[in-house]
């Protein structure tokens, strides 16, 4: 179990901060309009992002978020990218999960943070 103070969630469009630690992009697709330099990503784990099918079903509808989180957790089982993310967090450094969605409360990074800190 990891403390929530170690795993943070930020938009990839936010200005990088000194306290971000390891910056991990958790989107399957690189966010539109964001350069690699501006993103300052240390690691891009695209395969840890939700499948295209799940992402399209969810459509960032807050009413579907709980079901999205449940389905997404199922998708992560056995994923090498999910294991890699857990390994990064287990190293004990501060980790910032970066997402490209406009909704800061209903996205895969929020789900990943909850899973990593429970």
Q: What is the pLDDT of residues 14-64, one digit of tens each?
A: 999 999 999 999 999 999 999 999 999 999 999 999 999 999 999 999 999
d(CA 7, CA 30): 21
What are the pLDDT digits (tens) for 52-86? 999 999 999 999 999 999 999 999 999 999 999 99
Confidence at residue 86, expressed as pLDDT on a 0 to 100 scale? 97
Crossing angle (nearest 10°) for helices 65-76 and 108-117: 60
Alpha helices, H only, the chain: 36-39, 52-58, 65-76, 80-90, 108-117
Quote the CA–CA distance of 21 and 90 in Å, as a whole number.
13
pLDDT surpassing 70 at residue 4:
no
Confidence of residue 114 (pLDDT cuts 50, 70, 90): very high
């Amino acid at each position: 179990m990891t403390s929530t103070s170690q795993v943070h969630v930020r938009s990839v469009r936010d200005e990088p901060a000194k306290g971000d630690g390891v910056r991990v992009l958790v989107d399957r697709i690189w966010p539109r309009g964001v350069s690699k330099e501006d993103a300052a990503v240390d690691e891009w784990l695209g395969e840890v992002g939700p499948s295209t099918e799940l992402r399209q079903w969810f459509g960032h509808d807050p009413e579907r978020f709980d079901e999205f989180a449940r389905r997404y957790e199922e998708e992560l089982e056995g994923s090498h990218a999910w294991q890699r993310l857990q390994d990064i967090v287990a190293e004990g450094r501060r980790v910032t999960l970066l997402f490209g969605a406009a909704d800061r409360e209903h996205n895969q990074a929020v789900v990943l943070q909850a899973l990593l800190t429970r």
